[in-house]
């Protein structure tokens, strides 16, 4: 039986958050890059100590550890006040990241974590949850099973990113119909 919970990260958690982010990224995404140096550039840009400090100091962004039986097995990041198409900024949230360690993927933990975010969003009267997911990723089907749908596709601009992986889907879940 799973005991999944989300625990809000604080500034004292930066080193643990960075460790989990780097490990999960390396376990799942290194194949996207033409060379490891580009992947490390991206990881530093996204998960370097200064980058995480800046992100955590943004009052509209919140990081959560994903715990399974009190063990940190991943993290997610939520952004508030990011408008989505016709939905005003105050009525939607962005699920910017959901990264799990490889040892716990495909065990239902991600689904529970996303459902917790959806439930919290409903409590806060949010109308839309949106995110971006790479079109070649199994995550697209994962989010579609939860009820998200693709609204458009964008191109990732990063140097050193393999061309066949550049498409990223913008996905939306309408909570007023969910």
Q: What CATH number is associated with residue 84?
A: 3.40.630.30
pTM assigned to the model: 0.93
pLDDT at residue 108, as a whole number: 95
Environment class of 68 (CB within 10 Å of its CB; exposed 0-12, middle 13-18, buried 19+): buried
pLDDT at residue 69, as a whole number: 96
* More confident call, 85 vs 171: 171
The pLDDT of 98-119, averaged and rounded, is 97
Mean of the per-residue pLDDT values of the chain: 94
Contact 28, 104 (CB under 8 A): no
State yes or no: pLDDT of 81 exceeds 80: yes
- What total of structural domains would you count in the chain? 1
Residue 6, Cβ neighbours under 10 Å: how many?
19
State the first-to-last Cα distance of the chain, in angstroms, to the nearest integer.
26
Domain encompassing residue 53: 4-174
State yes or no: pLDDT of 145 exceeds 70: yes
Strands (E), 38-148: 61-68, 71-80, 92-100, 128-134
Report the share of the chain in percent with pLDDT over 90: 89
The helix (H) or strand (E) run that includes residue 114 is helix 109-123
Say how far apart CA 29 and CA 39 lie, in whole Å: 8
pLDDT at residue 178, as a whole number: 65
Q: Which residues contact 101 (CB under 8 A, 6 or more apart)?
A: 20, 23, 24, 27, 73, 74
Q: Read off φ and ψ for residue 150, nearest 5 degrees.
A: -75, 130
State yes or no: pLDDT of 114 exceeds 90: yes
Contact 85, 130 (CB under 8 A): no
For helices 49-56 and 36-47, the axis angle rounded to 10 degrees is 40
State yes or no: pLDDT of 1 exceeds 60: no
Residue 177: which pLDDT band, with cuts at 50, 70 and 90?
confident
| Maximum Cα interatomic distance, the chain, rounded to a whole number of Å | 44
Specify the residue for token string 């943004």: 58
| CA-based nearest residue to 6, from 103, 112, 105, 127 | 112
Q: Which residues contact 175 (CB under 8 A, 6 or more apart)?
A: 118, 121, 122, 126, 127, 128, 129
Residue 25: which pLDDT band, with cuts at 50, 70 and 90?
very high
């Amino acid at each position: 039986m799973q005991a999944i919970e989300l625990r809000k990260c604080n500034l004292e958690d930066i080193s643990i958050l960075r460790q989990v982010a780097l490990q999960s990224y390396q376990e799942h995404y290194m194949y996207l890059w033409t060379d490891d140096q580009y992947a490390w550039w991206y990881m530093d840009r996204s998960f370097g100590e200064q980058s995480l400090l800046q992100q955590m100091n943004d009052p509209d962004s919140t990081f959560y550890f994903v715990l399974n039986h009190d063990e940190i097995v991943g993290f997610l990041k939520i952004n508030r006040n990011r408008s989505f198409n016709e939905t005003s900024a105050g009525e939607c949230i962005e699920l910017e990241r959901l990264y799990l360690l490889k040892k716990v993927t495909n065990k239902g933990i991600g689904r529970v974590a996303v459902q917790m975010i959806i439930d919290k969003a409903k409590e806060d009267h949010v109308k839309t949850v949106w995110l971006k997911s790479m079109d070649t990723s199994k995550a697209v089907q994962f989010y579609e099973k939860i009820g998200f749908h693709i609204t458009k596709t964008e191109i990732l601009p990063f140097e050193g990113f393999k061309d066949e992986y550049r498409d990223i889907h913008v996905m939306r879940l309408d909570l007023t119909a969910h």
